Amino acid sequence: MTVAVVGSGYVGTTLAACLADLGHRVTAVDIDESVVETINAGSVPAHEPGLDELVETHAGDRLRATTRSDAVADADVVFLAVGTPSAPDGSVDVAPIADATRAAADALADVDDRRLVVVKSTVPPPEIDRLRSILDDRAGDAVELATNPEFLREGTAVDDFLSPDKLVFGTESAWATETLASVYDRLRDGERVPIVDVDPETAMMVKYANNAVLAAKVSLANEIGNVCKEFGLDAYAVLAAVGLDDRVSERFLRSGVGWGGSCFPKDLSALIAAADAEGYDAPLLRAAVEVNDRQPERLLSLLEAHGDVADDRIAVLGLAFKPGTDDVRNSRAIPVIRGLRARGADVVAYDPVATEPMRELLPEVTYADSAAAALDRADGAVVVTGWDEFAALDDAFDRMDRPVVVDGRRVIERRDGIVYEGLTWPA
């Protein structure tokens, strides 16, 4: 099939490269000239394991990129995968997706064979009708709207795309369902991957609900973890046992300093704001956010229980919002560092890959080249990202002036010579 993908962020680029790999002819459309040049040169604008190989293989052949939005006129299926930034009140700024829909509609104004415009971006269900109206008003009658949310995780996006748990189609006709099924046919592995076929608004609600359930699950693990800590118990032992109940599953029960990234915080705020606009105040969703907001402070209280940190040198180990990425958006390291600085501490931070993005956000912090250098002469350390390398620091702790270590991700082994505190497990 001939497919256009509008927006070349990590979702759009993963989608474009994977669809090319499935055998489709794909045009990636982005307003950023440098992103387009990067893709056409066979490189990737965003770091994602496995994506560079796919782009390198297919660029110039089944995958090409352009800044021309009229390129979508040639496509059987047009995916819209542009960003949906948050407005200051937490709601979604729908201007970019509305602009992309308008541009696609204009490019498809004169077509008379059936075309499908598929919203991949995460858009609150009540906003879908606005996009539908844009298409109805500007594109030809043969153009139809669908939604098709994605469930990719940063760091494993290519694998997640190629081996999904489910495909969710939000469609308004049997033709649209069949068209989307043809797009994904090669990865369906026979009937192994279920298709959930619902209307466009319901499909988008599946996306929000999916992230809300996962984020709330982690917040519940954190709340149980905080209670365990008060009782002197190990939340990891407790929740490992709970996770053996297959109604629960053991996944997304790792308690600690909380969730970050570009998805959970944004999608929960957007869902709360959209529900609020309808007059519902969503207490449990708000609580999931509140528990998450409190975890960094709990980490710092545990550190302070071992002494005042004012004028102390404190090492912050880990800046990325999770291991395997250099993304620092909504990383728990941000409130942790701000909290330390507000207490007068001298922060020395280290991350194997996320130093530069964090330096842009928090230039006043000292950044070390290694964990050992961050720990050198430190009066305390906090672990914020669960990088494997932190499990193997061994003698580096001997370099600390006061070896108090508060672990927010359960990666450090207890050892002689350090005072060790777990965030949701006993000292």
Dihedral class, residue 279 (left if φ above 0, else alpha if ψ from -120 to 50, else beta): left
CB 223 within 8 A of CB 143: no
Sign, CA dihedral 18-165-238-267, equals positive
Nearer to ligand UGA, 61 or 388 (CB): 388
Nearer to ligand UGA, 386 or 403 (CB): 386
Instruction: Check binding of 218 to ligand UGA (CB under 6 A).
Output: yes
What is the pattern of x (binds ligand UGA, CB under 6 A) and - over residues 347-366?
--------------------
Instruction: Check binding of 225 to ligand UGA (CB under 6 A).
Output: no
Q: Which stretch binds ligand UGA (CB under 6 A): 15-23, 55-63, 251-259, 376-384?
A: 251-259
Instruction: Check binding of 265 to ligand UGA (CB under 6 A).
Output: no
Q: Which stretch binds ligand UGA (CB under 6 A): 47-55, 59-67, 247-255, 412-420?
A: 247-255
DSSP state, 93? -
What is the pattern of x (binds ligand UGA, CB under 6 A) and - over residues 307-346?
--------------xx------------------------
Q: Long-range contacts of range 52-60, CB-CB < 8 Å, 24 or more positions apart?
A: 54/17, 54/18, 54/20, 54/21, 54/158, 55/13, 55/17, 57/21, 58/17, 58/20, 58/21, 58/26
Tokens for 161, please give them.
């795309």
In the chain, DSSP finds a helix count (H) and a strand count (E) of 14, 14
Catalytic pick from 263, 333, 334, 418? Answer: 263
- In the set 47, 102, 138, 254, which binds ligand UGA (CB under 6 A)? 254
Dihedral class, residue 84 (left if φ above 0, else alpha if ψ from -120 to 50, else beta): beta
CA–CA dist 30, 332 (Å, integer): 31
Nearer to ligand UGA, 165 or 360 (CB): 165
Instruction: Check binding of 153 to ligand UGA (CB under 6 A).
Output: yes
Q: Which stretch binds ligand UGA (CB under 6 A): 23-31, 47-55, 258-266, 412-420?
A: 258-266
Instruction: Check binding of 114 to ligand UGA (CB under 6 A).
Output: no
Q: How far is the CB of 390 from ligand UGA (least distance, A)?
A: 14
Nearer to ligand UGA, 25 or 332 (CB): 332
Instruction: Check binding of 154 to ligand UGA (CB under 6 A).
Output: yes
Instruction: Check binding of 224 to ligand UGA (CB under 6 A).
Output: no
Q: Which residue has the tokens 């002036």?
A: 401
Instruction: Check binding of 420 to ligand UGA (CB under 6 A).
Output: no
Instruction: Check binding of 152 to ligand UGA (CB under 6 A).
Output: yes
CA–CA dist 265, 220 (Å, integer): 15
CA–CA dist 181, 168 (Å, integer): 10
Q: Which stretch binds ligand UGA (CB under 6 A): 55-63, 229-237, 250-258, 415-423?
A: 250-258
Q: Which of 126, 120, 69 is nearest to 97 (CA)?
A: 120
CA–CA dist 135, 396 (Å, integer): 60
The count of chain residues that interact with ligand UGA, using the rule CB under 6 A, is: 20
Q: Which stretch binds ligand UGA (CB under 6 A): 88-96, 192-200, 210-218, 239-247?
A: 210-218
User: What residue spans of 7-162 are helical by DSSP H?
Assistant: 10-21, 33-40, 51-58, 95-107, 125-138, 157-162
- In the set 13, 121, 179, 211, which binds ligand UGA (CB under 6 A)? 211
Residue 163 CA: distances (Å) to CA of 33, 148, 184, 237, 284: 31, 16, 11, 30, 31
Nearer to ligand UGA, 259 or 397 (CB): 259
Instruction: Check binding of 410 to ligand UGA (CB under 6 A).
Output: no
263 is catalytic: yes
Residue 257 CA: distances (Å) to CA of 161, 253, 290: 28, 12, 13
Q: Which residue has the tokens 């300093």?
A: 257
**Site residues for ligand UGA per CB under 6 A:** 150-154, 211, 214, 218, 252-254, 256, 259-261, 263-264, 267, 321-322
Catalytic positions are 263
